[in-house]
Every structure is written in C-alpha cells, then in structure tokens.
Structure 1
C-alpha cells in the first residue's frame, strides 16, 4: 500500500538560537560510517551524482550520512543540499528522524523532519526530510522534478520492497530526462550491491560503491533446534510447539548471559503468543512491529534502565537500531506476500527466512559488544534456505504498481529500470482489475479517474470504495469504512466488520486511534457529502463489496448446523467458509474483505466480512452482472442419463441470481451442448447401435487398422471429433436426448466412407460382410478381433483349398472350423495345411460322435454339404 502526505505540516521547535545551531552531539563520532563519508561525497561529485553505500546495520548510514550530505556536520563539510531520505516502513521513518534531530539537539520538525501517511512534521527550516517510499512515489507522481530536493537517499534497498524498487526506477527516469543533476544514493545494509551499481551507472560504467565497515564484535552462533519435530508453517499458521520452544530458549538465554534480548518472530500473532509464554521473566517484554503503539516503539528503540526482551518482526533486521542487545533468538521464520490471481486472494504466508536475513539477525547481537545468537533450527536446514529474500515484485499483488506505472506513462513498465521485471501473469491480472475499476483504458493508460485513485494513497480497490462509496453512503461513513479496510482490525475484535466498526468508533486503544487518524485523512480527500438513508449495516456491506466485488458471497446452505462452518460461494467462483460459531454464520449474503486459502484446503477461510443483501450486492457488483443463455447437457446428481437443458440465466460472476426456461435457444449452443453430451456419455452409449450399424462400424474399424487412410477411424474419440461430418444434418435438428437416440447410425456411418477417392465402392471387396463358402452358404465375417474370423461347419468347406485374404490380400482370414453341433473343432489361418495335417485327427475324434455327417478320407476332393448322410 502506498502512503501520501496529505496531512497538514506540524512544525516542531525551531533550532536553538536560530541562525546559530547547537553543535552536533558528540555521539556522532562513535558512528563508524563517518570514515566513509568523504569518499561517498567524492563519489557523488565525480560520478554523475549516483552512488551506492554498503554499510552494516548500526554504522550510522541512516542518520549521519543524510546530515553530512545536507551540510549539517561541520567536520564533514558538504554542499548544503536538501536531502530526502526514503525508508520502507513508517516505524523506521520516525526512528530515523528522531535520531537525526537528537544529534542536532532538536526535535523532529526543525532542520530534520518526517512525513508518513496522515502525519507530517516538517517546517521551513527542514533540510533533511525522512519519508516512506510510498510518500516518495506520491511526490514523484505530483512533481516528477522533485523541485527543491537535491539528493534522494533510498535506504535499506536490499530489502527489495516493491515501492522502493519502483521509486528507484522513477528516479532514474527523472535523472535521464528531467534532472540529470539530481543525486541518488542507494544505501544497503549488505555488501550485495552489484545490481544497484549497474542500475545507477551510466555510459562510463557502474556507479561507484562505497563501503563502510562497522565495529564488528564476535557473535557466537548456537544451534538450538526444537527437541522434537515441528510441523512446517502453513499459510500464517506456525506450529505452537515451535513457539513454546522459542519461549523456552529465551528463558534459558536470559539466564546464561547479560544484556537485552532480541527475538525474531514472523508476525504479530506469534509475538503475542510468545509474550504470553514469557510471563514472569525477569525483564520487560516489548512487542515491536509496525502496528505497535508509539510508546512501545520508543521504548524498544531507546536503551532502558532495566533489562528488556524485545519480540520483533523482520522490521528489526536492518532498518532499526535496537540498543543494548547482546542476545538474539531467531525463530528462523519470516512473512512474505502471496497472491492467488485466479481467485483474487492475497495473503501473507510464513516461510523460512533467507540466509541473508539470518545473517542480519545474528549481527544484531554484536552491534555494541560480543554477543550470541540462538538459532531455533537444525544447521542442516540452511542447505534448503534461499540465499536472499525474494523480491516483493515477484510475489505481491501488482495492482498498485501497475497503476503507478500507468500514471507515470509506462503502462507495461517496459521502460522502467527495475532490478527485476514484474511477472507477466501478475501484470495481466492487475491490468484487468484496473480496467474493471475504470482506472485505465484498454491500452492500459491511466484515466482521469485512475489518476484520482492513485492520489488517494490507497490500494486502487480501496480508493474505488472510497470514491464511489462516498456518493452512496456519505463521505464520513465511506472514509471510516475504508480506514477499517486499510489496516486489518485485530482478530480479537471479531470477524464481523459491521460490529468492528461500531466497536472502534468508541474505542481508545492504539488501533482505534490509528483508525480515527486515517478516517480523518481520507475524509479530507473527499468532497463533503451527507450520509444517505442506507442503514449502517448495509453501508458496511456496500463499501466492502465496492472494494472487493469478486468476493461478494452467497450462502450455499440455508440453515447450517449449530456450531458448524457456514459454506459460501464467492462471485469469483471460489468456495469459502466462515469460522464455526461466528456471528456471520447463516447470513444469506456476505461482502468478504479478508480471506485466505490455506495450503491444501478445499475452501478459503473468511476472516473479515460484512453482512450484505442481494439488492446491495447487485449495486456493488454491477460490473459483474451478466445475463446469458445457458444451454448445456445436464446429468442429475447420482444419475447416468443426461438431458439437454436451455434457460436464460442472470448471474453476478459465478453466483446465479435468477433463471427462466429458454424456448428458442441458439442452434450453435444446442449443437455444442449435444456434443458435450456425446463426450460425457460416449457415442457408444448415447446413440443407438442396431446390428447393421455395429457390423459396418466393425468393418470400417478393420480397414482403418489394416490399411489406414482413407479408411476412417471409427473409435469413440474419433467419431466424437468427426461428429460434424457423419451426424449432420441429424445433429443440427436434434433438441433432446431422444432425437440423438433415433439417429440411424448405420446410414450416418456411410457418410464417413471415402467417396471422394472412389475407395468407398471397394468396401464389400476389401471387407465383405459375408463370404460364400463351397457349400453355397453366405457366412458372416467377424471383425471384432485383431484378425477377421470366418466361423463355419467343417463339411461346408470340403474342396476349398484355401480361404481368401481380405483387405486386398493383406489380412489372412482366420477360419474357425465347427463341429456339426456348431462347436469349435479347429482354428487355422492356413486351410490347405489343415487338410494335410490336422484334418485326420479331427476326423478320428468326431466321426464316431457324428456318424450321419460325411467324413471323407480326402476332404479336398469331397463334395461340400450342409446336409446329413441318408439313413441306411
């Protein structure tokens, strides 16, 4: 999500003795980066104003370097530029600004200020301003030249946040086209700087890299794997056994070494769980994350009088300095975004932290003195870990990025100098979403509405809900509800957003305070509109549905069992369900704000939603409303025989709203449905096959196997594929199953014969239906096996020296010689050989059993007969 700077400036105290600032706090002399500042200033001056700074955490790169570049460090004279510092997190913005102001003997708002979404402390004397990368993007969109800014420092670029990558690409574009004198510095806490140097380079080559070396203290690495196997993380779920082990490791480590302890955990939920398990430890337990109250953040980032345990997310890896830490406990887990573009679901998932992250975390223990890190995994697992964090651009929902690129004038982002290219599938999904919101046109260019959406600083979906919702529910309620969506409410407040809204209106906790601030900011961005007559409950559902129309959901069960999960189907076609016992259970319609789909789960989990009704769903999901003619082959549940159905359907995405029979369906749709029925039930089952049709199909199948083209394949799949050739015109006239069953398949198969080549006339010659034997009988040939078979009584073949070969002599006829009773007496493919070698044995065996039938000594010279010998 991007930030903006729409809040009014709050000017802090002026520098002491305006015009004669206080001397710099001598603490700056302890910052190792000071030794690298002269080289950095030369690099920027001599190499076109672009450079890379590689400095480990704690060296002072975030605080001393911007002051020096702004000419605020007399001992490190600089050109006196106005410097803009971009940080990836709001927490880091405040911390960096306070630290720099402290070095100057001031409070933020004087020569050092900061801006985050909804809060700005800067004034006319500000020469170093710290902002989030989201705020920087907003400023670049409004003023690409960044008038009044001389140097931009992109801090913590190694973390590969999407906003930071985008801001760098825009800055490089500005340097190439508008302001070649604008200086850009990429600051990284790692030495992996080649990519940044290449991006910042020019025709002379890569940009210079200046390295600063911190005061490194020895860090002892101890492997502390759980005593028994734990389950790998799934979605945002972490095995409780691992968290119990992490808490036990913290307790043990506190007893083994002095100093503060920093424990890395993947998310807020895990931090809260471990904090509960640490009740009674002889230290103050602080929970440090992006949502932590300001007082907690200040306490974590300031050396305390007593011992502290800081439970932190990855926010403390590099962008913040936590003083006093001598011990690190690392769970080995981190959170990364994942987006299911097909279902429109985005979520954070728990993953194994990269090797680079593990090194960063371990280094926190040796920042000020020798320390120790306890790694809660087997060392062998490092072989499976990624070397570096995955760039956010490869994983995240790119809707905001795509709108930023469109507003910049490069809809496909082909001209942007990005460290990694955006995935094509994610960009296509983002463009589709933006077109549905009216933010871009068919060519992907930003529309006036898209520009306004981008300037809200919100995700485009939330911006759409804010702008359109203000008209439908009133500006105050729209702003409050969108503020509720912009930061997911604590799970403790429940999953019913209508109830959460009522709760936070009167709340006084940190979340409620942030919600009120964001509500006011959003309301200022709107034209004031009065509340409409829509009740609050309906307003909540409407605004949520405006943001996520494809997540409009309808219940699949009218009255679920008490305590059971309530199943729903979303407009996107995704199955979802509520948690057991929630207040949402049994509601016929929901507007789903937050849902995820755990790995291997058949349905998404609804985490936050608001009540909805069909009328409001139609209003919010208007772009998804569609009427269509539905003609299909329907097989009832548990049944085997399908039937053609035709109806007019009104739907909202995948949700069917109403239907009515269709009396005159499109013949093309009917034909397609009948073909589907043939495919699902099989041509052998759905069509009728009298003996004549079966016989012809068998003969054609024999010729295809033996001779190939032009004789057709008449297997089920081939007949289905060629249905338009041999079932027309009957197929076009059919409207029901019974019409297919009445088709004369024998006559229809005749259409497949090779009439055009003239070969069709040779069918009886190459594959005769019957063969006349010496007795005069016309015997049917059996073509069901691999070779054609003629089954005939032995006496009818007397005098027949050899059976004919079929298919132009390529397929010898197999003769089944039958006894007078019609039972097999012998099988041969060489009749002449049988008369010479096999007949004598058959004659000896059967003539006693059938004395009234002729059994001549020489069958080749005997008269064939179908009759008995006359009685004597």
Structure 2
C-alpha cells in the first residue's frame, strides 16, 4: 500500500491503545486516518478477533471509506469491511470492520449495551459534533465504565480542541499526525458577501477560476436549492470540456460517486457541494475551492418547540476545512466570497448540534437506555436544560414517557423503530388503525425535503395530500429532468418509496408487489386518514380555524397561510411544517382533520371548562361551557350564571386586563411601592408588581369578592386593607421600620417618602427644616441612602443629594449665598449643623 503520513504515528497509536482504554488521534486532512487506521488496528492482540465499528457523520463518506478499505484488502465490500447506513447494509458474518452512520451505533448499543464482539469504536471526524456522535460516545463511555472495561473508544478528527476530550476520556493520550497538505493560497472578495445574489457571485467566480487555473473546482454552497440554481446558471456558460457535478446527501449513490471520481481524460469538473465535502472525502483533481461561506443548519426554538432550517455563516474551523480541500493532491487556491474584514468576524468554531437541535430523539434514547436524566452520563457538552425539558414534555404527550419520566412500553417500541419519535409514534398509532402502509409513505415523505420544490408551488399548495398523490399515481407526471412547474424528479420519488418500504419492514409488514399497493387504503380513505396521521406525529400542531381565517395551534401559537388556498377553509388542520418566526407562524405543509377524528383519538386530552366573563356593554356576566383541546376551542354553549361565576368573571377581568381596573388610591399604591422597594433588598418580600398581582388574583383577591354581583361592586374594595391583611402583623411592623411612610426631620415635620419614582426612594423637604441633620437617613436594612430633594422656602428644588454631610461641607455655602439674596428675611446660618431647624421664616 502507498505510504501515508498517518503511518508515522500508527505504531504510537497501537502502543497507547494496548496500555490504555481510549485515545485521541488528530490528523490533518490527507493524512489517511479514515481508511488506514482501522485496517492497521484490526490485527492488534488486544482486539482478540473482535470487530471494529467506525462512526462516520455522513453516508457518502461511510460508503466511500468502506469501499476503499475493501479494495486495499483486495476484497469486495461486505466481506472483511462492510458498512451500514440509513437505507443500505453491506455486511456479512465475515465482517470485522463496520462503518456506520447516524443512529446505527446508538441502535447497536441499545440492543446490546455490552457490544459483545466489538473491541474498538472509532468516532471519525468528531469535530463535526453530530448529535448522534455525542449520544453514541456518552453511551459507549457508560458501557465501558459499567460493563466492558476492555471496550476502547478512539476519537479521530482533523480540527478539534483536544483538551476537553482528554478530560472526558480520563486523561487519554493525544497522538498527532501532520498530514500531507500542499500549500493553498487564499483570496478574498473585494466586496462584502451580500453585494450581489449568491448564484451571480458564484458563477462569476467559477468562470474566472476556470480561466486562471488548471484542474477541477470544488464549490461549497449551503444546500441543494442553491446548488440547483448555480447549476442552471453555470451549464450554459462554461466551456464544453467542463462537467458540472452536484454533490449533496439526497443524491443517488451513483451520482455522488460521479462527483467525487476523477474527471474523464481531457475534461475538468466543477463540483457543486454542500458541507458533505468538507471532510473524509478526497475529490480527485481539485485544485481550486470556491467557498460561499454559508452553511444550512436546523435550529430548534425552545420558545416555539419547533425547528427550522436556516442559512448561517460558516465558522472559521469549517472555512479552514473547506480551504484545505484545494491542497489535497497538489498546490491550490481558495476563493472566499467574503471580504477580509468580514473574515475577521467569523466565529471560531461551529456550534455542536447538541446546542442547536431538537433533543426529542436524545431524550427518548436516554429513557430507553435507563438514564433518568442526562446528568447520569458524561458529555463534552451536556444537553441544554430548556430544550431537553421541552423534549421530555413532548415525549409524555406522545405516550413515550409516563408521569415519572420513565419509558413506557409504547416508548420502547418507538425507540426500536429508529425514527424521530414523532414519526415512530405515528407509525405505531397507524398500525392500530390498519393504515400503517399509508403512514410509512407519509413518514418517508416528511423525512425528505418537499417534493414540490418550486417556491411558487410551495406558497400556493400547502396540502401534503397532493404530494402523496404524486407518489401513488406518478405515471405521466414525471420527467427525467423534473417537471418545470413543480420540479418533481423521479429519483426523489424512488428514494421516498424505498424509505417507505424500509419502514414497512421495521414494522414487520409483509411486502406487496407494487409500491401503490403498499399504501393500503383506497383513494377516498387515505385522503380522509392523512390529517389524523399527521396529528399523531405533531399533536402540538393541531390547529383550529379562527373567525378571521387564521388558525390557533393547540400549543397556543398563531398560524396562517401566506396565500389563500382550498385548505384555508378547513375548520381543523394537522400541520406538519410551520415556520417559527414572529408571533404567528406561516403554515407550509398541512392536511385537514375531521372533528370526529379529533374527539375520538384525543378524548383524554379534551377538557371541559366553565368560562365566566364580563359583558361590558350589557353590564352583566356571560357564562359559557367550553370543550378545549389545548388552546383550541372545539365547542362552546351559553349557560345561566351562578353565584361563583360573578367572582370568576371579576378574576378573569383582573388577570386579562390588569390590576389597574381595581380601585387603587395613593395610600394603596404607596404600600405596594414600599413592599417592592424592600423586595429589591431582600427577596423574601412578596412580588407585588402589577403583573404578579394579576397572576395571583385568585389567591389574594378572591375572598373579598365572593358576594359581588356586578362590576360596580369593585369600587367598594379597600385595596389598602386587603394588601395589609396579605402582609400580616409581623411583616407590617418590619415594613414600617425598614420602609417608613414618612421621615421626621429636625424641624419636627413629617415628610412623605416617595417610593414610586425609580429604585431609590426620596423625600422633598425645605432646606431650613434639616439644619442640624448631620447624615443622610438610611432605610431598607441600612442599605439605601434616602435621596434628599432640598427645597427653597418657595418649595423649589435647590439641591438633590444622597450625601448630606458632603452637601453641608462643600455645597451649602454656595447655595446659601443665592438663597440669602432671594429670601433675605429667612434664616441662613453660617453653621448649618449647629443651627436650629425651623418651619418658619426664622426660628422662635
């Protein structure tokens, strides 16, 4: 075999793994770590004939690595070296090195926590921080700790801060390989990244690079949509000897291989790729990289409980990985389509998926593993608490976890399917109804990008049933290069049907001859069943139509269609996709659902509530009985009010409109302000803000309105008395001591203390009345110096101070000159600290 840079450190790696139970291998791109390391370790004595599992973050890289290693052994893939990816498996009883992707390692560990027969788990390209890699490593480390002290994890990466991993792995050794990279020149754009549309900038850069450089080009773009746009822009303008080859995860394997293979003799290639080409792959003949500087990622919003795909700036570690692709086989050049000034602002590292993703799959895996919380496992970055709690609540709603957050039998069956918990729940519920084949097709459709990719089509047609029709009755609607209106491609249809059949096998459904037969019910029936199936997957996105045509989701968020369509008239929807921007989401994909189906399948969740509200115009109480599914009102009818309804209506008015509708006076507001002042000093004092009082109205206000029969009865309330009673005798004494209503000054006057202006209270007093007061009074447990507004005899401010001593020493004499001139008959002593305070013109 050809000598590779990684060969220099393999002996050291072997020694480390022989004496320790973990290691970290850092190797620059081109070192050969992915394809050489597993082969070199296979015959190590400590493996004792056991196998190796290598986790790759991308399917293309997994398949390519397995094929290449098999070729090095002179074998076909599936013999000594095999792979298992999402829709393919090529392994046999002879296989000792298995390259896997996504959740397959997790499934293996869940099925056999001891991983009998496996001696080494390799986590390749760990710097990508895939969620499944983090889950797999956490489970593997606990398996090693509790069951298999001879199980060895090996972390491999090109760009990674090793120190946190060393600590996580208990002081594991770090082996470094320098790789074999050729020099790469970096060139920046003159204008900022957003100066022109992306496809224009990329097309211009590609044409210029083809003229200036030899070799093939690798162009990094955020997603398949941008790749198609650039491809359409490039094909008519590049020379005839240049092939344009897309490369992204959803492409068939044959087209992916075409993109990474060497260009035919006399030809050059322009490979348009997503971040799939950042690592693990060497694309033959590439000497030029053009980087858009963008990546597509799914961000989970804990506020809305939804994920959305967003395009963001790539971080520096990602940009450096992309740049390195130009120097794998020869010296190269990298064109960055952003300015050098923008480059200095790039974040250093790509955020781990753990910190951005929907954590529902992780929460289900941990429950199936037997962990009661994430704290029981070791993580490089622990799951964020907010999104994790939201994931647990969704799993409880799906019936996967019980009230104690333990996995149910239904949840265990969901975990075994290896799908997102939402889709797994839908398949199992569909099996109970005998429509599992339709559910499998729907699950495969929901897992993939939208079949109707044209932006206009998506805006105008949000009915998922039309996508299903294309799948079930595609004859005459497909074209080899796609439909110009909807851009439906045969390869997309076939991929979804393949996935659907795979899900059927997981459910144990007997296979039928044709894909159409696998759907199950007839045309009319599946149209009716589609909505309830989507509701099983997205129970939080069941939506009811409002009077204005907008929708309210079960979770309380609003949603609406961007443009009117036939679905706009549906009374109830099950929404598969909705964006989470703003206060009201835009519905992207949905199906109508019948009320009869909702009442049948969600009867346990439908609550009956009695709602009492004041009718302002009629001056009386209106009472309705409502049946609700979350925030959706399914049915309501008026009923006659009873005594309790009047009080409930008042409480509802207070909580919805605010406590300002109550009869406040100055003394009640001052009491409120005094308590809030002390709460800022000591949190044991109650929160009496308007919002908190409105939220707790049922606790403190309800006893005083039990016999009210009309809105005007509110005016008889004494809020001062109610709030004083709420405090109790002891707290009132403490309140009077630490936040008194008045300040007694040397003249004998009682000066009102104002607590409602800012954080620090103040007292406004004539200057002559505080002669002899040496220091500023302090309140609030001695923490707060009272602000003194010192006034002239006419009551106008002459000085504001929180330090009386400093005022007497430094400022009084200047103030005195001015006041003596304006008020010559008044008393202005030379020594204010020894003078007699007075409320008169002069003291007696």
How high is the TM-score relative to the length of structure 2?
Answer: 0.75
Give the Cα–Cα distance (whole angstroms) in 2 for the partners of residues 291 and 675 of structure 1. 56
> 1:325 aligned to 286, 292, 309, which one?
286
CA RMSD of aligned residues (A): 4.1
- Verify: 1:290 aligned to 2:260, yes or no: no
Mark the structure with the bigger radius of gyration: 1
Alignment partners' CA distance in 2, 1:705 and 1:149: 68
Aligned to 1:59: 31
Note the alpha carbon deviations across 1:224-249, whole angstroms, 9 max, x for none: 1546854xxxxxxxxx7133212221
Question: Does 2:711 match 1:737?
Answer: yes
1:513 aligns with 2:489: no
- 1:656 alignment partner, one of 628, 633, 653: 633
Deviation at 1:302, TM superposition (A): 1.2
User: Does structure 2 retain, via aligned residues, the 8 Å contact 1:153–1:185?
Assistant: yes
Q: What is residue 46 of structure 1 aligned with on the other side? A: 19
CA spacing shift, 1:224–1:623, aligned 2, 3 Å: farther
Q: Secondary structure at the match of 2:117?
A: coil
Classify the secondary structure of the residue corresponding to 2:33: coil
Secondary structure of 1:628's counterpart equals strand
Partner of 1:308: 269
Partner of residue 569, structure 1:
552
How far 1:45 moved relative to its partner?
0.8
In structure 2, relative to structure 1, the CA distance for the partners of 1:663 and 1:608 (3 Å cut) is same
CA contact (8 A) 2:58 2:101 kept: yes
Shift of 1:378: 1.6
1:335 correspondence with 2:309: no
Superposition pairs of residues 772-787 of structure 1, within 5 angstroms: none
1:199 pairs with 2:168: yes
CA offsets 1:198-233 (integer angstroms, 9 cap, x no match) = 2222xxxx1111112211211111001546854xxx
- What is the aligned partner in structure 2 of residue 208 from structure 1? 173
Please report how far the alpha carbon of residue 574 of structure 1 lies from its aligned counterpart in structure 2 after TM superposition: 1.6
Aligned-partner Cα distance in 2 for 1:753–1:400: 47
2-structure distance, mates of 1:703, 1:179: 66
Contact 2:86 2:102 in 1 (8 A): no
2:2 counterpart of 1:35? no
State how far apart, in whole Å, the 2-side matches of 1:223 and 1:750 are: 67
Deviation at 1:106, TM superposition (A): 2.8
Structure 1 residues 218-233: aligned runs within 5 Å: 218-226=183-191, 229-230=194-195
Count of equivalent residues: 697
The residue number in structure 2 matching 1:674 is 650
Aligned partner (choices 541, 547, 561) of residue 537 of structure 2 = 547
Q: 1:384 aligns to what SS in structure 2?
A: coil
Deviations 1:448-469 (A, max 9, x none): 2211110100011111000001
For 1:128, the equivalent position in structure 2 comes to 97
Match of 1:245 in 2: 201
Aligned position for 1:360: 321
Deviations 1:563-600 (CA, angstroms, capped at 9, x unpaired)? xxxx32221222222242655343333211112124xx
Distance change (3 Å), C-alpha of 1:700 and 1:592 = closer
Partner of 1:513: helix, strand, or coil? helix
* Partners of 2:82 and 2:99 within 8 A in 1: yes
Deviation at 1:426, TM superposition (A): 1.1
- Shift, 1:108, TM fit: 1.5
**Does structure 1 conserve the Cα–Cα contact (< 8 Å) formed by 2:544 and 2:633?**
no
In 2, the alpha carbon distance for the partners of 1:297 and 1:753 equals 72
- Kept in 1, the 8 Å contact 2:606–2:630? The answer is yes
How many angstroms does 1:92 deviate by? 1.8
SS at match of 1:732: coil
Cross-structure match for 1:382: 343
What does 1:412-491 align with in structure 2 at a 5 Å threshold?
412-491=373-452
Return the offset for 1:716.
12
Deviating more after overlay: 437-446 vs 504-513: 504-513
Q: Secondary structure of the equivalent of 1:209?
A: strand
Q: How does 1:501-540 map to 2 (within 5 A)?
A: 501-507=468-474, 509-526=490-507, 528=509, 531=520, 535-540=525-530
| Cα shift at 1:612 | 2.0
Secondary structure in 2 matching 1:735: coil
Q: For residue 744 of structure 2, what is the aligned residue in structure 1? A: none
Q: 1:705 and 1:115 mapped to 2: Cα distance?
A: 67
Deviation at residue 675 of structure 1 after TM alignment: 4.2
**Cα displacement string for residues 726-753 of structure 1 (whole angstroms, at most 9, x for unaligned residues):** 9997721113324446x48799999999
Q: CA deviation at 1:139?
A: 0.6
- CA deviation vs aligned residue, 1:73-109 (integer Å, no higher than 9, x gap): xxx9997652111111222211111121222233321
Give CA-to-partner distance per residue, 1:705-729, whole Å, 9 cap, x none: 99xx9xxxxx997998999999997
Q: Decide whether aligned partners of structure 1 residues 699 and 262 sit closer, same or farther in structure 2, where only a CA change above 3 A counts.
A: closer
Identify unmatched segments of 5+ residues in structure 1. 1-27, 231-239, 561-566, 690-696, 710-714, 760-785, 788-813, 816-836, 838-872
> Would you say the 8 A contact 2:18–2:46 is kept in 1?
no
Alpha carbons of structure 1 residues 415 and 273: separation in structure 2 relative to 1, 3 Å: same
State the partner residue of 1:12.
none
- 2:66 maps to 97
Query: 1:194: how far off?
Result: 2.0
Match of 1:290, SS?
coil
Measured at CA, do residues 250 and 510 of structure 1 come closer, stay the same or move farther in structure 2, by a change above 3 Å? same
Change (3 A) 1:30 1:568: farther
